[in-house]
Structure 1
Amino acid sequence: MREIRGGQIYRTPLLFAVGLGLGLTPAQSQTPAGYSYSTYGTPGLIDMPTAQSAEDAELSATVSHFAGTTRTTLSFQFTPRLSGSFRYSKIENFTRAGALFDRSFDLRYRFLDETRYRPAVAVGLQDFIGTGIYSGEYIVATKTLTPRLTVTGGLGWGRLGSYNGFTNPLGVLDDRFETRPGGFTGTGGQIESAKWFRGDAALFGGVAWQATDKLTLKAEYSSDAYDIETSRGLFERESALNFGLDYKLREGLHMQAYYLYGSELGVAFNLITNPRKPAINGGSGAAPLPVKRRAPGSARDLGWTEETRRSGNLRGQVGDLLAADGMALEAMNLSARSVTIHIRNDRYLARPEAIGRTARILTRTLPASVETFVIVPVENGIPLSATTLKRRDMEDLEFAPDGPWLSYARAGITDAADSLDGSTYSSGLYPDFTWSVGPYVSTSYFDPDEPVRVDAGLQLKARYDIAPGWIVSGTLQQRLAGNKGDATRESDSVLPRVRSEGFIYDREGETALKDLTIAHYFRPGEDLYGRVTAGYLESMFGGVSAELLWKPVGSRLALGGELNYVKQRDFDQAFGFRDYSLATGHLSAYYDMGNGYYGQIDAGRYLAGDWGATLTLDRTFANGWRIGAYATFTDVSFDDFGEGSFDKGLRFTVPLNHLLGRPSGQTYKTVIQPLSRDGGARLNVEGRLYDIVRSYHDPELKDSWGRFWR
């Protein structure tokens, strides 16, 4: 027995807890001079927005408080021009029953860049999905007057047009722009486009002065009347002027203090990181072995091929060096002029780094006559692609200024479906038992009675590789402390309760078998990948899941299909089942749009029996970070779905090496949903094929090939 290899930890949603505490405090500056964050957690002055954008790919978490209102905002600069924000707010004493908890989404697009004579100009939608408490739209311009002084002016609608408003200038286009509909539609959570840029408009503006490298002073004129809050006596709005300061406590951590509306003091904290940059400067990973150059004429010597034990000895040497570098030799087929080697890579998320290090090892171990290296990464027993390299290129390009690009241009990357033919597996590789024991933390968010709930305990994970492509695995958790199961709000769903009773699973599953499966991975043909998984697939469902993926090595497009027959598990998450069962499945299309952007469409039948589709957009980085959003629309009406109207959320993958500064194949995955309802709920089965396959295919290999020589 040995400790479990690197992998993905799916049920440890620590982005808010550990990620925002450690990963969001990078060693490099993330906030260049010229912008800071507002109380809404977006680039702005104090309560008003600016036209400035955060640095591309910047991820920020802001917590602000004033006048009994606390806003917690997560913002991401999805492209250099487009940013999105998710906000969770608490307004104390909002109703007779107590506080109001509100979820909202923002979008902002900078459509004009600043030039010498022209300001930057942006358009924004605030709280465009939700109940509309903070709903507003704006067009704003920001100009840099000196390197330390910026001025901003804008025009707002909705909440941002509620103080000293005037007739909407867009009324010249259509009289309907002069009236803004009130309230919100149905159960909330819908896109209220009928309100956008309608009703009275108002002006806002302000100035920001960077007094020192750490201190920025700000003042603004606010166009938000805070009608709802003042009418409920939450605070007195005595002035439209706000004043504040932003102080950088350390790189990636800012504190802000405010004097707002002539009556209130406020404070905010910003945690900032950028997935494109390491949280720790440098790294502690071992340097790769240098390429060993052959002596002139040595490639003609084939005498080694007559030695009967030579191939076995060479296989052992290669395996030992791969193991020392955090990889494993799966199989090898050696001839006088070429070698095909299958490797497991559990350490390097930048896949070309594993390929490059393997090629270096081969130059140091194989006879000089072996000119062609075919390196085939294997995961879950299936070969994913074949990278063909020439040994002379390794020798010529190791120190070349353009070595990374030339080595990629000269490499051949092809399908590897039949690459195991004639290969000899390493002895002792199968069967293989791995395990780990450690703490776990599981969280849930947005319960109005307790916005953050946490369980903690011990987790046992085990995996048994029976033979290539055959895997038995399971996870057992013992809760030691927590309050996730203390929720008391009963589900009001009119659909089969496939997710909305999750709190009962948390309550009853003190000792929980989270999953126990047998899975078979296989290659049915060229460009095809298959998976069949059976058992207790996740905490709420067990059954059988089958998947087929078509993904050519050099294609941006992949197509897949998944079919499942599942039965709902007992609340205690032991071995029993409830009465509910159904067949569910999806057809999927995946597309790599370039520059790290991925789109995905999954259409089919969901766990509650509803039919529809899920749209997903992700941004992925070469170091393993991934940030994305999804939305699901099915034939369940918004009213039947309940609060929120449709399923939507954010998803994050955080590589451990970003935090540690050394190579690691582990990643933390979490999904943040404003609400967990029954409509649009999909089976959570581990080992889906696309994420396994695509990292060893083009164009993703090309995008991270710069690490080939690392």
Structure 2
Amino acid sequence: MVLLSGVAAVCLWPIQAGAEDPFTAPLAPSHNLYGMPGLIDMPTADMSPDAQLTTTVGHFAGTTRASLSFQILPRLTGSFRYSALAGYVPDNYDLSTYYDRSFDLRYQLVEEGDLRPAIAVGLRDFIGTGLYGGEYIVATKGIGDKLRVTAGLGWGRLGSHGSIGSTGTRPSELLGEGGIPTYDRWFRGDVAPFGGISYQVTERLAVSAEYSSDAYEPERGISPISEYGNTEPALFDRKSSLNFGIDYRFKNGNQLSVYSLYGDTIGAQLTLSTNPRYANTPTGLEKAPAPIIPRQRASLNDLGWSTDDTQINSAKRTLRAALEGDGLAYQNLSLSPREATLQIRNPRYSAEPQAIGRAARQMARVLPASVEVFHIIPTSKGMPLANITIKRSDLEALEHAPAEALLERVAVTDAAGLGLGQEAGLPARSSLSLAPYLTFSVFDPDNPIRIDTGLRLSGSYFVTPGLELSGSVTHKLAGNLDSVTREIPSNLPRVRTDYAEYSRQGDTAIEHLTLSHFGRPGKDLYSRVTAGYLETMYAGISGEVLWKPVDSRLALGAEVNHVKQRDFDQKFGLREYETTTGHLSAYYDFGNGFHGQVDAGRYLAGDIGATFSLDREFSNGWRIGAYATFTDVSAEEYGEGSFDKGIRLTIPMSWALGKPSRRDNTVTLQSLTRDGGARVNVRDRLYQRVRDYHQPELNKEWGRVWR
């Protein structure tokens, strides 16, 4: 819960609302106390704008709910919720606050029309303990510009008060471990109506009223929770089915809501929203690109320079300086009378076409007039990723035309065997940085979030363009990860659940120390070998091969790791546990920003299975996704949560700053840290490094080629 609030405050940078501004997102509807578009406690059929990301924190009657919801598709919403019920102490439960994790889904079956209402179907807490489990069908219709009316039918919690019938028998017990879909009870049991209205008083102020079909039996101490039995005293007394609310929307689109609930208590909620599709700040704050100067026709056939080493070396020096001024790293240049091949590294621009465009502009300004064909080879870790061919005459003719016109004339081919290496005399690439760090653990019932923070000293040195020595050392300044006292039961080798011991003994720790080699073993093939202290818990050797044609949506990979567990103090010592892991991976770009990944193989605890991931990516670098791992470890062996799963967000710095940057921040909300389905955290896996300069990725951001 605290983590979600932190993500909202730090990462979900609110943007100005107003659909008429191309840089800002349209307004999102009000969200209910479950973090989904709704009235107060009840759902509506409304949808947020496509890609809207919303976090809510609400509280009433000892219950605090924090949620993170995402508009996955224009008509599909997903939500993760973490709830804390203070004073809710079931039998045989040894804590004063009960914590619960749950997931929701809603799909809009029918969009609202002039006469017809929007109709949606939803699943609440469909993967969890079932504490909040319920399903519904709901319709919402606007009447005029200010009034919206909602009516629906609910099952489970939403069918527990005022039942008008039944659709079979619904299991009533809750799932102690949670994490398993509760499909055996969907749309079964008592069914009850609910409904309400909302009225937009002013642009900022709205009021709402609803009739609730949730009896709140667990919170009132009159129904069992899991195997623990009943709980007393009740958190509140449900005196009425009517709820009333006031919503105030701030100028930036965020919202504060205050409620009168069930005739007995009051509640409040803060809603923060942002949309990755819209810019947080004005873009294009970087300096303008160099103009393209058309060549004089009389100079096109002047080849005298081609035999003059002085002119060639001068052109290389001038081009190198020009590229560095644009934030690009010059690596080498090969010149012939009619063609030039430039090898570069892009440390600045998150939009790769912008780097290609700036490199091409500088080539057109610097190189002799007879050079007509430009080959630009971007590299990563010394690997040539693609050969991007552009005719100089096309640059001259199309500089002020739409970017798509140039794209039609650009060729992107494989660069295997075309790499130029690093030009003699250039300094070896190296880096050294000192920065703060933060690590965290979430969802421990003794303390929902634990954090360590301190300083990280990181460095790298490239012995050759494809051979990197890198490492990092951390020193903890403050934190409470080492305060974990609850014994985490495990029937598996303790490959991850000793994380508290690593924090307790690793105040000053070698986070990683590795030697890595990256290469191009053949056409469409990429390779990586990493040896050393791979991560905080494991040392060993890791090898990976990736097959990725430049024009393919599909990529295939294989990875093998032989590792040994590190000592808790994270110095140079090793423990006894040793294992070999390996995975075969398939990556696919489905289009519309959706990327899927399947990794099948052997995990750290020796379990066999597969991890399924789906991410939605945006052209500005935002990435939002989820993953789930299923292995031959049973739900009982795995423990609480039943299987490994999580949600992840990547927020690019360029989106927040309005200036080019390849830096980003990734936050992963993992259900729980357990030993099943755990992988080695190896740096620099190949797919993310390779695909940026391939199709269809280049096409998605090609509009920035002239920027």
Which interval holds the TM-score relative to the shorter structure? over 0.9
Matches within 5 A, 1:167-316: 167-168=165-166, 177-185=167-175, 187-231=177-221, 232=232, 233-316=234-317
CA distance in 2, matches of 1:524, 1:22: 40
Query: Deviation at 1:186?
Result: 5.9
Query: Structure 2-normalised TM-score?
Result: 0.95
CA distance in 1, matches of 2:83, 2:651: 25
Query: Deviation at 1:144?
Result: 1.4
Matches within 5 A, 1:33-52: 35-52=29-46
Query: Deviation at 1:532?
Result: 0.3
Contact 1:331–1:341 (CA under 8 A) maintained in structure 2: yes
Cross-structure match for 1:77: 71
Cross-structure match for 1:338: 339
Matches within 5 A, 1:52-71: 52-71=46-65
Structure 1 residue 394 corresponds to structure 2 residue 388:
no
Structure 1 residue 709 corresponds to structure 2 residue 700:
no
Contact 1:20–1:61 (CA under 8 A) maintained in structure 2: no
CA distance in 1, matches of 2:651, 2:25: 21
Cross-structure match for 1:7: none
CA distances 1:493-513 after superposition (whole Å, capped 9, x unpaired): 110011111111111110011
Contact 1:302–1:336 (CA under 8 A) maintained in structure 2: yes
Matches within 5 A, 1:103-502: 103-168=101-166, 177-185=167-175, 187-231=177-221, 232=232, 233-400=234-401, 403-420=402-419, 423=420, 425-502=422-499
CA distances 1:413-453 after superposition (whole Å, capped 9, x unpaired): 11011112xx3633444522211001112222111111121
CA distance in 2, matches of 1:353, 1:694: 16
Cross-structure match for 1:3: none
- Could you tell me which amino acid in structure 2 is paired with residue 140 of structure 1? V
Q: Cα 1:140–1:532, aligned 2, differ >3 Å: closer, same or farther?
A: same
CA distance in 1, matches of 2:124, 2:176: 19
Moved more, 189-198 or 424-433: 424-433
CA distance in 1, matches of 2:159, 2:426: 68
- Could you tell me which amino acid in structure 1 is paired with residue 524 of structure 2? D
CA distance in 2, matches of 1:15, 1:40: 14
Cross-structure match for 1:636: 633
CA distance in 1, matches of 2:246, 2:46: 17
SS in 2 for 1:396: helix
CA distance in 2, matches of 1:475, 1:16: 29
SS in 2 for 1:239: coil
Runs of 5+ consecutive residues of structure 2 not aligned to the other structure: 19-23, 222-231
- Could you tell me which amino acid in structure 1 is paired with residue 405 of structure 2? L
CA distance in 2, matches of 1:388, 1:19: 43
SS in 2 for 1:315: helix
- Could you tell me which amino acid in structure 2 is paired with residue 449 of structure 1? D
SS in 2 for 1:318: helix
Structure 1 residue 589 corresponds to structure 2 residue 586:
yes
Cross-structure match for 1:20: 9
Q: Cα 1:653–1:33, aligned 2, differ >3 Å: closer, same or farther?
A: closer
- Could you tell me which amino acid in structure 1 is paired with residue 394 of structure 2? D
Cross-structure match for 1:520: 517
Q: Cα 1:34–1:84, aligned 2, differ >3 Å: closer, same or farther?
A: closer
Report the count of equivalent residues: 686
2:571 pairs, out of 571, 574, 588, with: 574
Q: Cα 1:74–1:15, aligned 2, differ >3 Å: closer, same or farther?
A: closer
Q: Cα 1:539–1:350, aligned 2, differ >3 Å: closer, same or farther?
A: same
CA distance in 1, matches of 2:296, 2:205: 62
CA distance in 2, matches of 1:346, 1:139: 50
CA distances 1:353-386 after superposition (whole Å, capped 9, x unpaired): 1101111111111111111111111000001111
2:558 pairs, out of 555, 561, 586, with: 561
Contact 2:11–2:651 (CA under 8 A) maintained in structure 1: no
Cross-structure match for 1:90: 84
Q: Cα 1:428–1:110, aligned 2, differ >3 Å: closer, same or farther?
A: farther
SS in 1 for 2:267: strand
CA distance in 2, matches of 1:637, 1:425: 52
Contact 2:4–2:55 (CA under 8 A) maintained in structure 1: no
Q: Cα 1:328–1:504, aligned 2, differ >3 Å: closer, same or farther?
A: same
SS in 1 for 2:300: helix
Contact 1:184–1:192 (CA under 8 A) maintained in structure 2: no
Query: What percent of counterpart residues are identical?
Result: 52
CA distances 1:2-22 after superposition (whole Å, capped 9, x unpaired): xxxxxxxxxxx9986366335
SS in 2 for 1:300: coil
Contact 1:167–1:178 (CA under 8 A) maintained in structure 2: no
Query: Deviation at 1:32?
Result: 4.0
CA distance in 2, matches of 1:63, 1:19: 10
CA distance in 2, matches of 1:127, 1:18: 22
Query: Deviation at 1:187?
Result: 2.1
Query: Deviation at 1:283?
Result: 4.4
Cross-structure match for 2:21: none
CA distance in 1, matches of 2:305, 2:625: 53
Q: Cα 1:135–1:424, aligned 2, differ >3 Å: closer, same or farther?
A: closer
CA distance in 1, matches of 2:127, 2:530: 37
Cross-structure match for 2:227: none
Contact 1:14–1:668 (CA under 8 A) maintained in structure 2: no
CA distances 1:510-530 after superposition (whole Å, capped 9, x unpaired): 001111100000000000000
Contact 2:421–2:465 (CA under 8 A) maintained in structure 1: no
SS in 2 for 1:309: helix
Query: Deviation at 1:212?
Result: 1.4
Cross-structure match for 1:173: none
Cross-structure match for 1:172: none
Contact 2:130–2:175 (CA under 8 A) maintained in structure 1: no
Cross-structure match for 1:6: none
CA distance in 2, matches of 1:50, 1:342: 55
Contact 2:140–2:150 (CA under 8 A) maintained in structure 1: yes
Contact 1:27–1:280 (CA under 8 A) maintained in structure 2: no
Query: Deviation at 1:641?
Result: 0.5
CA distance in 2, matches of 1:128, 1:424: 54
Query: Structure 1-normalised TM-score?
Result: 0.95
Contact 2:333–2:342 (CA under 8 A) maintained in structure 1: yes
- Could you tell me which amino acid in structure 2 is paired with residue 541 of structure 1? Y
Contact 1:86–1:106 (CA under 8 A) maintained in structure 2: yes
Structure 1 residue 550 corresponds to structure 2 residue 547:
yes
Q: Cα 1:124–1:147, aligned 2, differ >3 Å: closer, same or farther?
A: same
- Could you tell me which amino acid in structure 2 is paired with residue 201 of structure 1? V
CA distance in 2, matches of 1:527, 1:19: 41
Q: Cα 1:33–1:458, aligned 2, differ >3 Å: closer, same or farther?
A: closer
Q: Cα 1:270–1:187, aligned 2, differ >3 Å: closer, same or farther?
A: same
Contact 1:623–1:658 (CA under 8 A) maintained in structure 2: yes
Contact 1:15–1:670 (CA under 8 A) maintained in structure 2: no
CA distances 1:49-93 after superposition (whole Å, capped 9, x unpaired): 111111111111100000100000001111111111111000011
Cross-structure match for 2:226: none
CA distance in 1, matches of 2:374, 2:282: 34
